[in-house]
Structure 1
Amino acid sequence: MWQHLSFRTQLFLPLGVSFLAALVMGGVLLQSFATGQLADENESGRHSTRAVAAALNNTLRASDNPRQTLDAFAHSLDTSSDIQFRAVQAGPASSPTDGLRKPHGVPQWFVDLLAVPNMDATSPVTIDGKHVGDLVFLPDLSADLFEKWIGFLALTSLVVVLMAITGTIAYVFAGSALRPLQYLGQGLTRMRRGDYTVPIPVGGPPEIRQSCEEANALAATLAQLSQDNRDLLHRLVSLQDDERRDLARELHDELGPLLFSIRAGTIALIEASPPVGHLGNAAQEVLQSVEALQQTNRRILDRLRPLYIEELGLEASVQTLLRNFRKQAPHIGLTATVDPDLNGIDGPLAQTIYRVVQEALTNVLRHAAARNAHVQAILAGETLIIEISDDGGGFPEGNVFGRGLTGMHERVRALSGSLSLLRADERTYVRCRLPVETTRDEPAQS
């Protein structure tokens, strides 16, 4: 449970408990010392009461009229005095000082907390050996209790002020210490997402500053490695395009004429002599096989290096690709939004855009079992957004790229873009984002 508390809570909780313990300990010490102090302070009054009683008894024994002497003594006592005379006939009469035992402004719970002992003291007064009354010591504790109450308030106020000051200092310190850690966490999150451009602000204690500096150094290293990786991928893609171009040239220049010669020779053979038996059937089969090989050759050439892009432009090439898809899959309702400004894009970026759309539509046709699909290829500022969606069964569990999309993912990464697959609202989405500004400056592959 302690590990789930915030840093400020972990810091304030021990401080609050410490101050509360100090307040409770102060109250316990106040109770312990105040009780004994009150008893010690009033011991002299008790002793004085006994001395006055002894002197009064001696005076009464020596007096000719002890009753008159006692009355004169009783009337001489001030009503506010701590020493009072209580006659036997009066019974346990209350003293006028009793009301001062609970001074105004001191709560009863504080008086009960102090557990003030009984300070009253009585000394008998006799005339001719007969008990006629008592000298009673009734101390006025109002001033003492008020003094103890003021001391308790001072102690409590001091603890509260110290707690507020310490809490404020701890809050400010925790904020100044946590803020760099928050920046560090945000920076690490950006690094996890592949963004190494924004440096982490360096601040806080030396240990945190060192961590921020090391994280920035790590970001610089990862940025360099990422750039090297993109450069390597770009070179690999360029090599693949060169290899595709060479292979397409070989198929077009070498295999194409051979297939044309075979087809022309077969047609000439059929036209020169009428087909007879199995020989005529074999000639027709050869002609059909040659035509199938020519179609296969054109399809392979189109996948290796689409000629539409260089001849018609990217937007028209994508539209041609969409028309071919509609012919192949008339049962799938295909809609599209293609930006005409795509014609201004060429080179590796144009090849990548075309192949992403081509591969995504191929997956829709082969694996999705979809009834509707939508293609979007638009320019948004300096970013090209491609999205192909369908209402089919979706991609395999675990979001694993197929071989074709894996190759597209590598091409997109080589151009500093991103390619993602997701499933939302019963539809499957292939989303690609490519920066346009950087790729337009790159030389086109010919």
Structure 2
Amino acid sequence: MNSSNQKKNCDCEFCKNNRNFTLPNDIIEAVKQGNLVIFAGAGVSTESRSVYYYTLYEEIRDELNIGPEENMTFSELMSEYCKQPNGRAKLLRKIKDRLDYVNAFPELERTASNFHREIATIYQITEIITTNWDDLFERKCGAVPIVTVEDFVFWNNPERKVLKIHGSINNYGSVIATKEDYEECYKTLESGIIGSALKTMLATKCVVFIGYSFGDEDFNKIHNSLTKEMKGFMPHAYIVTLDEKAEEKFKDLNFTPIITDATYFIKVLKEHLIQLELMVPDENFEDIYESLFLVEEEHSKLSGAFNVKQNPEMILALSYQDGLMHSFERILAMKKTGQYSNPDRIKKVIHDYGILIQEKYEKGVYHDVAYTEGYRNGLIHFLINGELDQLPCYYVLGYEEDILNFEEYQEIAPTVKNIHPESYKYALKIANKIENKTGDTVFHHTPFL
């Protein structure tokens, strides 16, 4: 049974293309199994009309004074441009300048990467194919770029990968743009290792083409190559497009069109995955910024209020806060990889850290116990999207209740040596080793155990 979204969308510039659609169960099931492959084209890159008012194609065509009536393909036009002295170098410079311009304006960069940032937290999507040259999938989705045969050594790694069949701006020699480039590229894809991987994915997994149109040269070449290879038995695929006539255009190609905006399609897919409890809501990440800020403030408050020589017990509280902060920082840093959007993975890490805490406790390494407790609590707080005023920002080993703020810690601190004498003696030994006689040195636990 297919899932349908029936939200009423506004008609503003950003939402006008967010059209209601039916999400096929095939796609949801493919995501569950980790078998969904995104095949992304220029429509979800810096070449989108929402980023530049004019495309690279139009810019080159105008520079060469070639009229639209010539109806040249993209690769033919690029070949024509390269006929001038140093034409190839000039083309690459023009491509780089366009990408650099977008990256120099945060507003443009955010618009260009809307799709990429949306897809980043769907951890089940680990394989992406693109004909785009930009590095947005690498920077915004944490994807390992596969550009050359040498890069293919990373293909079987568990991290997210992006197969860049038209090269990358980070490897100028790999850029596929001209007619001659296209011919050489598709000749290589017919027999090379990367081509074999590409065809295997397209033949065995659920593929969603996004950012292509029916007349797109890239799309046509890919489809023709596959049809030729598979003797007409093209596997079923989906294409997300805004073309109202897509149903008619694609009816003989074994493609199911989904008429909506590309980024909106991903948002709706995520809503279904969250409802099925298959991923952590993105909102949880937003709340972590505030949680991190709170712990940083409490950390500074604790460091400034006590002397480590006179109050060695603060070493464990500081270690705990370091664990909390490191947990939050890593969650935010790794958001783009999707790792922390996987609830089962987080639950396993929480469980494993519980075992580690017990091991550290039995060995009497109490500052590691405190640090790991902090790190673990950070994960729990993120997973349940806990209330900020319920976050335990302080820690005393052996104390059963949560210590939420500095005032509560101040009351408990004088009794620490009685609550857990062994951990107090342990902290005292560390404090005595600190050479600073004034005791104003702040103890710090590094992110290692």
The two structures have a TM-score, normalised by structure 1, of 0.20
Structure label with greater radius of gyration: 1
Bigger RCO (CA 8 Å, 6+ sep): 2
The two structures have a TM-score, normalised by structure 2, of 0.19
